[in-house]
Amino acid sequence: MTDPVTTDVAPWVTRRRAAVGLGTALIVVAGSIGAWAYLTAGARINDFEDAGSVARSTHVAGPATMSFSIGPLCVDTADGTVEVTDVVPADRDGGLTVTEFGFVDYISTADGGSESTIGDEEASLSENLRGRRLTATLSSTCDGRDSSPPELVMQIDKTRAGTTGTTGFEVSYRSGHRSHQVFVPFGLWVCEPKVTCPARTWSSISRGGD
């Protein structure tokens, strides 16, 4: 009696079909994960004014506490919200340390304009805020719907005497379950009183990030 033709073939066919099915499942899962990662990559931070690089200098005897505004920032999607988790000098020579940061709305003026919350750069951030609340989240969009997005302000400690500086600040933030970082080219020299700051500018620095 002749054995069925499928006796030796069926296991191989079964294994092959299983392998094909598993491969298809893996592709579907990988595709779903990729789509989820793409959809949850989240909003990105941009410079609302797109002013490019900023280079400035100030004279403060160290050690000292100072306050600065990086300027208005925004997110690139209408339904996005980001949370800033850290702000650090891009050049870490130990002379400057960011000790506090956050977003705050600009102050409305009598003529219908607005001005920065930072009125005294040689005072602490709490002194400049005068009770106004900081937040780590940003949802103002870059499409112009928000005429005056909040400014990112920070308190910086000059940790020692002498001249120190940075080409800008690295802003770390979370968006869509992922961590990102953007370089804000707010170049800053902090020199001792009666000392000439270096004649260096950062006009050629470009903004980057991930």
Instruction: Provide DSSP, 169-193.
Output: EEEEEEETTEEEEEEE-EEEEEE-T
Helical ranges in 95-201 per DSSP H? 125-129
Q: Do residues 137 and 43 lie in contact, with contact meaning Cβ atoms separated by under 8 Å? A: no
Q: Which of 44-58, 138-152, 155-169 has the highest mean pLDDT?
A: 155-169
pLDDT of 209 reads: 58
What does pTM read for this prediction? 0.73
Q: What are phi and psi of 183, to 5 degrees?
A: -95, 125
3-state SS class at 158: strand
Q: Do residues 97 and 179 lie in contact, with contact meaning Cβ atoms separated by under 8 Å? A: no
Which residues sit opposite 52 in a β-bridge? none
Determine the Cα–Cα distance for residues 118 and 108; give it in Å rounded to an integer.
13
Closest CA to 209 of 79, 76, 54, 57: 76
Which residues sit opposite 158 in a β-bridge? 64, 96
pLDDT of 159 reads: 96
pLDDT of 11 reads: 37
Closest CA to 186 of 160, 207, 209: 207
Q: Can you read off the two tokens belonging to residue 138? A: 């940003």
pLDDT of 46 reads: 84
Q: What is the mean pLDDT of the chain?
A: 77
The helix or strand, by DSSP H or E, that contains position 68, with its residue range, turns out to be: strand 64-75
Banded pLDDT at 37 (limits 50, 70, 90): very low
Determine the Cα–Cα distance for residues 12 and 10; give it in Å rounded to an integer.
5
Q: CB-based burial of residue 183 (10 Å sphere; 0-12 exposed, 13-18 middle, 19+ buried)?
A: middle
Banded pLDDT at 25 (limits 50, 70, 90): very low
pLDDT digits (tens, 9 = 90+) for 166-209: 999 999 999 988 999 999 988 999 999 999 988 755 443 334 45
14 or 155, greater pLDDT: 155
User: Once rounded to an integer, what is the mean pLDDT over residues 4-9?
Assistant: 33
Q: Can you read off the two tokens belonging to residue 171? A: 């802003």
pLDDT of 68 reads: 96
Banded pLDDT at 33 (limits 50, 70, 90): very low
pLDDT at residue 152 tops 90: yes
Domain spans, the chain: 1-39, 45-191
Q: By mean pLDDT, which of 23-37, 48-62, 66-80, 84-98 is the weakest?
A: 23-37
User: Once rounded to an integer, what is the mean pLDDT over residues 110-114?
Assistant: 84
pLDDT of 83 reads: 96
Determine the Cα–Cα distance for residues 96 and 165; give it in Å rounded to an integer.
7
